[in-house]
């Protein structure tokens, strides 16, 4: 089963070692793109990488596209 690529803000905060409130503030400022699903704010793992919130070691030259996002999701 593939890892999900979308997280709630609470899940993202847990993975990143920050608070949900900090991520909410970034969303309000427009520095973190989020969307709503069933009234819950969600963020794509790739957006966390784009926003510079998640930093991963280089995946290597032969790594498939999306390997960094998969590595981030593995942290859950």
pLDDT on residue 72: 61
Each residue's pLDDT tens digit, 1-60: 556 689 999 999 999 999 999 999 999 999 999 999 999 999 999 999 999 988 765 555
Query: Which residues, 6+ apart, have CB-to-CB distance to 47 below 8 Å?
Result: 32, 33, 34
Does 69 score more than 60 pLDDT? no
- Give which of 55, 39, 48 is closest to 6, Cα–Cα: 48
């Amino acid at each position: 089963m593939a890892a999900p690529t979308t997280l709630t803000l609470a899940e993202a905060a847990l993975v990143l070692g920050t608070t949900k409130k900090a991520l909410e503030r970034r969303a309000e400022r427009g520095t973190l793109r989020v969307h709503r699903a069933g009234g819950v704010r969600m963020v794509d793992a790739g957006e966390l990488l784009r926003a510079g919130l998640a930093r991963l070691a280089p995946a290597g030259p032969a790594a498939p596209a999306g390997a960094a996002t998969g590595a981030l999701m593995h942290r859950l």
